Amino acid sequence: MKFVARLVALFALTALAAHAGEVANVTPAEAAQRVAAGQAVLVDVREPNEWADTGVAEPAVLLPMSDFNGEQKLWKPFLEKNAGKELILYCRSGSRSGKVAAKLAAQGQPVANAGGFRDWKSAGLPVRKP
């Protein structure tokens, strides 16, 4: 029961931080737990060539940063469908995901940054080819 209470408290703190325009950092293991529990959606913001070269996290939705910064052909419908859900972003190193997360947080979207794909892979979490 303590674990569940802590998880709920952590989720609430993350949502509050995102609402305030700040972005919480989470470990890949924390991200995987939240996604598996249906509490969050994992998003890979790298570009398609990177997905093809390295693979992606098994549960990740693939939405490139270039689309976010451009016409948002992919991002706009995704954000409408997932309004209010926590989004956990990652990229190669955590830099691009941090930038996108900061913009989303400023819009009031609950969001966190899980860092880089290499961290996900190093944690032994499942990956797939896109």
* Structural domains in the chain plus CATH codes: 2-128 (3.40.250.10)
Contact 53, 103 (CB under 8 A): no
Q: Which of the four pLDDT bands, split at 50, 70 and 90, describes residue 64?
A: very high
Residue 37 burial (10 A CB sphere; 0-12, 13-18, 19+): exposed
Q: Which of the four pLDDT bands, split at 50, 70 and 90, describes residue 3?
A: low
Report how far Cα 100 is from the mean position of its chain's Cα atoms.
Answer: 10
User: If you average pLDDT over every residue of the chain, what do you get?
Assistant: 89
Which pLDDT belongs to residue 22? 85
pLDDT digits (tens, 9 = 90+) for 108-129: 999 999 999 999 999 999 999 9
Which pLDDT belongs to residue 9? 47
Which pLDDT belongs to residue 1? 58
**Could you give the 3-state DSSP secondary structure of residue 74?**
coil
Which pLDDT belongs to residue 6? 55
Which pTM value belongs to this model?
Answer: 0.83
In order of 6, 54, 113, the CA distances from 94 in angstroms are: 25, 16, 7
Find the helix packing angle between 95-106 and 2-19, rounded to 10°. Answer: 80
Contact 62, 44 (CB under 8 A): yes
- Please say if the pLDDT value at position 39 is more than 90: yes
- The dihedrals phi and psi of 13, each to the nearest 5 degrees, come to -65, -40
